[in-house]
Amino acid sequence: MNLIDYPRWPSLARESILNVPMDLRSIRLSIDGKVIDYSGDIDSVIITGMGGSGVVGDIINDLCLFWDCRVPIIVSKNMRLPRRLSRPLVIAISYSGNTAETIMSANEALARGYPVIGITTGGRLSTALSAKGVPVILTPKASAPRYGLPALLYPALIILERFSVVSVTNELESGISGIENALKHVDDAVNLARQLVNSVPVVWVTESRRGVGIRFKNDLNENAKYYSVVSVVPEGAHNDIAAVITKQNGLKHVAIMGPNDYEGRYEEVLIDVISSFGAKPIIVKLEGKMPLELEMYGATYLGITTLALAELLGVEPVSTEPIDRLKNLLNERKVFQV
Ligand code: PA5
């Protein structure tokens, strides 16, 4: 099976952090009469981006539930930023640098006087931010945005370290071990993919694995061109679960869990309830010890599963024509003024 960029993930992670400037905290800009001082204290981090770039925010949000980050992480997948923020740091992530939603939200952040840092391979985001003196971390390229995940995530982690949100230095290599471990489980991933053929996967995760669940759903959509839903519990246990009594629906339940998830026992009960209605949930146990290791194991292992599914379905995994068509049409119709 062609693993596309997955075997390069360890080196993508390592290379990407070399480009994070040392002096981020000493930057001081004046944009349209507003002084933006990167040395000031922050009280939240907004991570803005879409799809394969935006999922970095979800993964960091998961990690912060285990790491006890100093400030809240706000994941924004929109062209507008949330209102009523006081001193946020904004990390704008767009692999291509051409996603209008992300460029627009980065511009809005600057207009509000917030410090912004871009992570991208180039494109209009890089040009627009660099022209204003805003720091941009240029990251190595992959075959498509989602295949560059470590190259987008690792610089964001270093930024968190520089802004004293959390100390990540001791975790970075464990994340790479998680990737390497998952690369040893390709046969298991193929087996999981086989079980998903002719079904609509329902991906069950707890709040602390939301990022892994969303990433798996997105990879099923984009790599295998496959519909899937993700249900995050406890909330999903108060609505989605009611649909398990419908027998004919072709759903395949996949429950993802980590070894020390604080909601682990809750998920076990959920699995028992789903099973009691005749479904046979597949349980995916994340391997590893450290939080980043577990998340990277999950993103890699489940990503490879979606490549295996694409192969079983005879689907080309890299291209995502409907997304391209949407971006072109948004552009053509000038939906965004960026
Ligand atoms: O993985 C993909 O190809 C998509 O989900 C893209 O990430 C999404 O369309 C946003 O594009 P970009 O990551 O270039 O900002």
Tokens of 217: 């759903």
How far apart are the C-alpha atoms of 160 and 107, rounded to whole Å? 21
Per the CB < 8 A criterion, the answer to whether 200 and 227 are in contact is: yes
Tokens of 13: 């992670």
Q: Where are the beta strands (DSSP E) in 212-324?
A: 229-233, 251-257, 282-285
Point out the catalytic residue in the list 171, 222, 263, 293.
222
- Pseudo-torsion of CA 1, 286, 119, 141, nearest 10°? -10
Closest CA to 171 of 28, 294, 337, 302: 294
Q: Residue 94: beta bridge partners?
A: 120
Per the CB < 8 A criterion, the answer to whether 268 and 216 are in contact is: no
**Measured from the CB, is residue 144 less than 6 Å from ligand 1?**
yes
Counting every residue, how long is the chain? 338
**Measured from the CB, is residue 146 less than 6 Å from ligand 1?**
yes
Would residue 222 show up in a list of annotated catalytic residues for this protein?
A: yes
Q: Which domains does the chain have, with CATH numbers?
A: 6-167 (3.40.50.10490), 175-313 (3.40.50.10490)
Distance 139 CA to ligand 1 centre (A): 14
How far apart are the C-alpha atoms of 304 and 187, rounded to whole Å? 10
Q: Whose CA is closest to atom 14 on ligand 1? A: 96
How far apart are the C-alpha atoms of 265 and 39, rounded to whole Å? 43
Which pLDDT value is given to residue 210? 98
**Measured from the CB, is residue 51 less than 6 Å from ligand 1?**
yes
Mean pLDDT per block of 10 residues along the chain (338 residues) reads: 97 97 96 95 98 98 96 97 94 98 97 97 98 98 98 98 96 98 98 97 97 98 98 96 82 94 92 94 97 98 98 98 96 87
Distance 221 CA to ligand 1 centre (A): 12
Distance 269 CA to ligand 1 centre (A): 36
Tokens of 208: 């602390």
Would residue 327 show up in a list of annotated catalytic residues for this protein?
A: yes
- Cis ω before 234 (30° cut-off from 0): yes
Closest CA to 107 of 31, 202, 200, 193: 31
Pocket test for ligand 1, best of 4, 5, 50 (most atoms within 8 A of CB): 50
Would residue 15 show up in a list of annotated catalytic residues for this protein?
A: no
**Measured from the CB, is residue 99 less than 6 Å from ligand 1?**
yes
How far apart are the C-alpha atoms of 210 and 236, rounded to whole Å? 12
Relative to the CA of 99, which ligand 1 atom is closest?
A: 15
> Letter for the amino acid at 206?
T
**Measured from the CB, is residue 153 less than 6 Å from ligand 1?**
no
Element (H, E) at 174: helix 172-183
Closest CA to 10 of 130, 175, 129: 175
Q: Whose CA is closest to atom 7 on ligand 1? A: 52
Which pLDDT value is given to residue 337? 76
Q: Residue 108: beta bridge partners?
A: none
Cα-based angle 224, 229, 233 (whole degrees, multiple of 5): 140
> Letter for the amino acid at 283?
I
Per the CB < 8 A criterion, the answer to whether 142 and 161 are in contact is: no
- φ, ψ at 228 (rounded to 5°): -165, 155
Which pLDDT value is given to residue 248? 63
Which pLDDT value is given to residue 173? 97
Tokens of 284: 């995916």
Q: Provide the 3-class DSSP secondary structure of residue 278.
A: coil
Per the CB < 8 A criterion, the answer to whether 205 and 59 are in contact is: no
How far apart are the C-alpha atoms of 221 and 201, rounded to whole Å? 11
